[in-house]
A and B are shown apart, each in its own frame.
Chain A
Amino acid sequence: MTEQLVADSRRAQSPLLSVRDLQVEFTTSAGIARALDGVSFDVQAGETLAILGESGSGKSVTSQAIMALLPKPAGSIVGGSILYDGIDLAKEPVSRVRDLCATDIAMIFQDPLSSLNPVFRIGDQVAEPFRRRLGMGKKEALARALELLKRVGIADAERRISNYPHQFSGGQRQRIMIAMAIALKPRILIADEPTTALDVTVQAQIMRLLAELQAETGMAMILISHDLGVVADSASRVAIMYAGRIIETGGIREVYDHPQHPYTKGLLDSIPGAHAMGEPLRPIVGSPPNLLDLPAGCAFHPRCPIAVPECRAAVPSLREPEGAALGHHVACIRAEEVRSHD
């Protein structure tokens, strides 16, 4: 446990998880797709970072890279580092990362049904980390599992602990997944589209549960979503991804209220309901780019309403535009113009 002490003292100054210039490539028949290209972010203990993006933006690849879940052999980390507790997860062998992830970094997925084993009672599945990692006896582990199930809000947990996954609703299954994820008190919880498959009322309950658990345990949370609204209530910081890069990041209120990247602004404008009724929506023109054939320079420039010829010249890097709040970084050479259009 001395390691824990060392880690605790280190946590005070440095971020819990630090992703630096992460690069991930996928080999496909048509060529090599760079799914992540220089992604960097930090997560502090107790905070919630939302990673937002549309399909193909690389948001899920980011979590897969951290958890060593990249589909092999197609996907691999080709550069950068993922620093956790002084260890570079990008360089460690998969088995070691998985070991670490079992206790320190937990993850919940979009589809809880496919993440649960259909032939085992959920009690045994929730108890399994206690037995395997902590070496508890069956009785003790089941007692802990029961406790956890109650905590995540499974009604009548005493009886339901011996039910099978298919006997639960989608929302309850996600609660069970959360119970399994927090069983060993992880320091980081990665939630990849945790509510996308759920009904809106259930979604609200799950998001509330996650926020409560975070407040209780002080763990860091990375929320990955395509839905700007779902994360608005629980995230403190947000990173917007497009074509494998973070194009805007900062405090969530700052980014949502004063988007400085034309893509972020376009996303916010695309959401129905953010307008006066009866007015047409203002979508972003065109489609997300093909990762195999990215436009030169800024990947967004073909869809960008304020693009200038210079946008084609070089890939813009993240910078703090004039007049932006502290920590608000934007990868756009015309960020100031976006703000003035506000």
Chain B
Amino acid sequence: MTEVSLLKVQNLRVSYPIHSSILQRRIGENMAVKDVNFTISAGQTVGLVGESGSGKSTVARTIIGLEKADGGRIEFEGRDITQSTRTELKALRRDMQMVFQDPFASLNPRLSVQEIIVEPWLAHPDVVPKNRRASEAKALMDRVGLNPDYASRFPHQFSGGQRQRIGIARALALQPKLIICDEAVSALDVSVQAQVLNLLDDLKQEFNLAYLFISHDLSVIEHICDRVLVLNGGVVVEEGTPRELFENPQDDYTKRLFAAVPVIRPWLNGASSKPAGTIPRY
């Protein structure tokens, strides 16, 4: 690949301070991310898998600017984000957006759907002129598969999957080049999850989006990602295409992780521990 990478993360290090319980004095730090390196090219989907405490969410939050890096570089189109000024960062926000995990918590309950989708344009007024915002918001709703007639409804009137579509519409509003999906489909029911995954796939084709896809669900990662990084203890232990990792994991941790993934029909590959031919009763 000769193309310039969209996002380049080098030696990223992030820690959380530990405060003493009474005096709130800093007594140490908890290294959430120790040393993470990877790149994302335009239009590429990179997956970050790992279990809780692996640091995968911290990586995402640091890239989007919700946490501060302690060391290393995060380059977006060649510019180092960690050294950027506030105004530079604000400009970067346009190109980088995030879809959050919890479709119930990530939408302001006091704003209507239209207000939620218009909000990004309040921060970046030049993206869409004022008089076209309402119609553009409705167009976005339509694009993500929501009925534009519901623009004045509130988040609580939608189901989980529909809310996640609202979150995606909001992320799309600034026409970003990279969308970070932090467990974006984990809270959804499986039938709805598939709809949202397909939507993300379609949008990727249409807008040449790159995704950083964070999930604990390996089957989701396998489905949507071009490359996968396995994170354990704040370090990338293995990297490769999903096929390489699923079929021939090298690292011990990766092997254990993939072996634990539940199989839908364990009897098909002879992995079942259940005696065959149990008589079904009703």
Contact = CB atoms under 8 A, between A and B. Distances in A.
Contact of B264 (A251, A256, A284, A285): A256
Nearest to A255: B280
Q: Which of B160, B216, B223, B224: most chain A CB closer than 10 A?
A: B223
B110 interface: no
Interface stretch (B21-29, B70-78, B192-200): B192-200
Given A203-B260, A272-B219, A256 B280 contact: no
A204 B273 CA distance: 13
Interface in B146-169: 159-162
Contacts of A267: 190-191
A204 B159 contact: no
A94 interface: no
Q: Which of B162, B194, B280: most chain A CB closer than 10 A?
A: B280
Interface residues of A, number: 55
B274 A229 contact: no
Given A54-B191, A199-B52, A329-B282, A281 B267 contact: no
B222 A42 contact: no
A59 to B, nearest CB: 12
Interface string B97-130: 0000000000000000000000000000000000
Interface in A201-251: 201-204, 211, 226-230, 232-234, 236-237, 249-251
Given A226-B189, A257-B265, A287-B162, A281 B274 contact: no
B275 to A, nearest CB: 9
A164 to B, nearest CB: 15
B274 A234 contact: yes
B91 interface: no
Contacts of B265: 232, 253, 256-257
Contact of A204 (B198, B218, B260): B260
A328 B189 contact: no
Contacts of A249: 282
Contacts of A328: 280
B262 A204 contact: yes
B136 interface: no
A266 B278 contact: no
A226 B222 contact: no
B191 A275 contact: no
Nearest to A203: B260
B86 interface: no
Nearest to B53: A199
Nearest to B199: A283
A233 to B, nearest CB: 5
17 contacts: A47-B278, A199-B51, A200-B257, A201-B260, A229-B261, A229-B262, A232-B263, A233-B273, A234-B274, A257-B265, A268-B264, A270-B194, A271-B219, A272-B193, A281-B223, A283-B192, A287-B162
Closest 4 CB pairs of A and B: A229-B262, A251-B280, A283-B194, A273-B219
Given A272-B223, A288-B192, A327-B279, 15 more contacts: A47-B278, A47-B281, A55-B160, A200-B216, A204-B260, A232-B262, A254-B280, A271-B190, A272-B193, A283-B191, A283-B192, A283-B195, A283-B198, A325-B280, A329-B282
